Amino acid sequence: AALALGLDHCFGPVMLHRVEATVRPENAASRAVLAKAGFREEGLLKRYLDVDGAWRDHLLVAMTIEELNGSVASALVRAGHASWA
């Protein structure tokens, strides 16, 4: 829910058009969080960052304001992935 609230802030008061994130391909938990929030995969960034002494690939994910249908947080609640309580 924290990511959804952050996205609502980015696309609301901050008025961003696009938000991007990168995630390591093997990080299934983070990929699931990003997918539930509405991010889509755009591509693989080969040897993107040096992590623990080795260059690691990362997935680039993004969303734009046009892809939203209202509040990201509200969509998570409607889908049963979060609650207001």
Q: What is the pLDDT of residues 53-72, one digit of tens each?
A: 999 999 999 999 999 888 88
Domain at 19, CATH number: 3.40.630.30
pLDDT for res 22: 98
User: Is 84 inside any structural domain?
Assistant: no
Tell me the whole-structure pTM to 2 decimals. 0.85
For the chain, the domain total comes to 1
Residue 48, domain extent? 2-78
Task: Assess if residue 85 is contained within a domain.
Answer: no
What is the per-residue DSSP string for 52-63? Answer: TTEEEEEEEEEE
The stretch 37-46 carries a mean pLDDT of 97
**pLDDT number for residue 82:** 80
Identify which of 35, 34, 29, 24 has the alpha carbon closest to the alpha carbon of residue 57. 24
